Structure 1
Amino acid sequence: MELLVFVVALCLATGVAGVRLSFRAHRRIGAVQRLHDGQLEGARRRVAQLEAALTQSDAARLRAEEEAFQGRRRHADLIRVVSRQMRTPLEGVLGFSDLLRLNAGGEPLSHRQRQAAERIGEAATRLLTLVEGLSALAEAERPATGRLQRVDPLLLAHRACLPLLQDAEAAKVSLALPEPQAGLTAMVDPERLMRVFADVIAGAVRRSDPGGFVEIQARRLGGEVQVTVRDNGPGLSSAQLETLFQPLAAHAIAAVGEEGARSSWPGLAAARTQLQAMQGRLEGVSAEGRGAAFIISLPAADAASTDGAPNADRLLPELSRLPHGVVLYVARDKAAVALMRRLVQDFGGLQLHVADCAAKGAAMARDLRPDAVVLDLDLATDGGAAFLTDLRTDPAMRSTPVLGVSSDPEVSRAADVAEVLHRPVSVTGLAQALTRALSGPPAMRAAS
């Protein structure tokens, strides 16, 4: 009996102790839970405060960036408006000073009067050079609004050289047109890069002596594409290089007065600013008597986008892929042919065949039976009339759409041509015209 009482007492004691431990554990767990909940709530409030502060900081940064953007735009617009308004009175000053000197036979000027007229003309020429230079600097500092595109820089350099060929020929300087290279692409704003090439190449031609040459080369170096414009002129000293890139320095302004109409102010400062807006660089290397070389460094297009499937959305958001079909391109200009090949390579879907003259084009058209023809209307003196007549005499080719490309802006329509594109033809315009020509039934194409 005593043993039974002892066992019952032991069980009761153990149960009571267990209940007490359980209650104590629950109390501690509740305290820990309350402490955790309090800390979690505090952390949530802190996170919310940090997110609010970050939002305010981002908003302030965006406002500052927008104000800076608008400030730069207003500054550039102001300089451009002032420069434009100054051209009219400068034109009058230059014109009347020239009249005074040219009319010296009818109304003779004294020696002092002739000197005064010459000084007036020189000062007006210097002022006009400064005004035009300020306009170039203001345009370069305008915030970029265009999207960066994947382009072949040598193709743009080729186009920039074409308007300069006449000046180079007049100066008896050999200007070698660069040929596009497959796979050599950079991410740039094409319009800005065209202006950069025009400034750098024009400067090289202007510095070259008669019988000299200007050449353009490009290479891929790491994550950059480097385009080098080299001349074999008299070269530049370190002070002259500094003047080219620092046009607002006192000695650079003074050089405008010394060189007069031959001054190239503001030099290459505007080109350097244009490149900096595209994450690029412009550097000059020269030694007196050994010519000069200007290196244009551009961010290379992503190597991953050049391998495998082309990234059409980055190039032309309006188009995904070109329609399937066979296209005959009748043109002689190598840059235009390279552009067409690049378009076909990036967007696929097309089989491209090229003929460099109308006779070859007509023969290839009879053999290939293309779905569309792109004809350079400047290829022959008759504007491609003989080719089109030959093409339409074949019954199988009467409904084939023909796109014409002309450098004459007044040519808006041509017989048997569905659509006329004017140079310079943009990649977007060319792709959209091909899409329209290849989309629709043959009868509809012929009707267009």
Structure 2
Amino acid sequence: MNQTNDVEKALDRSKPAPPDAWKRYAVAVLAAAIGLVVRWSLRPLLGDSNPFILLFPAVVVSGWYGGFRAGILTTLLGAAGVFAFFLNIQSVDHGGETEWFSGVLVFFMMGTLISWVTHQRNVAINHLREAHESERRARLDAEELMAREESLRSQAEAANRAKDEFLAMLGHELRNPLAPMVTALELIRMRSGGHLGRPEQVIERQVHHLGRMVDDLLDVSRVARGLISLSKRPTELEPIITRALEMASPLLEKRRHHVSVNVPRSALCVDADPDRLAQVFANLLTNAAKYTDPGGRVEVSAERRGDTIVATVRDTGVGMSKELLARVFEPFVQGAQSMERSAGGLGIGLTLVKSLVSLHGGEVSAYSDGAGRGSTIEVRLPACEQAALGEAEPARAAAEACPAHRVLVVDDNEDAATLLAEMIRAQGWPVAVAFDGPQALAMIESFAPDVAVLDIGLPVMDGYELAARIRERLGPRAPRLLAVTGYGQEEDRKQASEAGFEHHLVKPVSVDELLAAMAPRNGG
């Protein structure tokens, strides 16, 4: 870099700005005149011999400054001056005139050569200077481009962080009002012997539908950033599809679809996260139900093809055009809908399907013969060895074996806190309720809870600070900590674990999930 700069500086010094034409020729005339005048002033000392000795430097200066034509002009003027002032006709008898003419001819030839050489030197330096100038500009352009790229990258990262923060806040704000609704429904079910009336069933379906949309939206963001980790294990595909059918059954039943299932109970083992794979097929079944007119057919089948398990969801719905098929797995892409948007949704279900299938090492494809001719979604997953299956105990059974706890519930959403406390009291456990951190600390020693269920987004002090204050105040008598919060990002779970929370439960929380989390660990 320094050598390049030194060359550029030298070129700048050696190459003046191109002069105007009259300046070039004025310098040519002046150089010839100075050379002749100085040579004439030295005539008493040098005589008439070597009259061109001071004209050669004049040609060099003229050619360097003005180029080839200026050098030739100086040469011609110099030759003319020598004829006028130094040619001695008296020496003709001794052949002197021939010698003078020969000298003029040699001077003219040398002047032409000098003019050409200096001109070529100027051209070469100019080209070199232009090359370095181009290189300098290219370097500056590259630096500017890198700076712009860095700026754009910083802006994109800032926008991505803002998006993540917005999605986290959106999830929190949407889940908070869902939590008391779900808890209220659980209480109604418990008090009515496990049954819900028609209005409560409608509320339950809509709450679950909204909760799933929130989860899908946040999952797409997490998958795009590589923040979803799978808990994979060998498992049969049939119970996963059965679970997906249960998740999609409210919509399938509401639209009176005829559902046929052809999935063998065994020999379809996949290495998968059952929860995430059930989410995949539930999204596919929900899409099929939404985009098929009431009373349509939805078929689910699966088979093994070599080392691949192929599962297919086929419907008799609205179908897809070629244009839509090419983009159907992109975010927020949906088929044409009427103004009432009867199908609804955000257009991210198939995007999430493709992302989750890819995380399992599989592929997904969409097929359709055109609008009004139904659609087929095919999921291909790597097969694995036969799974060693075992039924896990239900969460509620584990909770029933759990001894009674004294539970402190802290949530600034009074409806959520009150209903959650009622649900826990229904198990026969003592419960205290606080709506912020200071209120919780004021009762912590007198109540002495075994379990503290804390919201994270509390006023005055957040759940992390409250947890630290509780542990500091009670020491070894500190309760087990459960986070029940609307923040469900992977970073939130990690931060909760680092803060000493045993479980991080995302609102809305079911009674089974909460009671299972309250059960002590093995040996606890």
TM-score using structure 1 length: 0.40
- Which of these two proteins has the greater Rg computed from alpha carbons? 2
TM-score using structure 2 length: 0.35
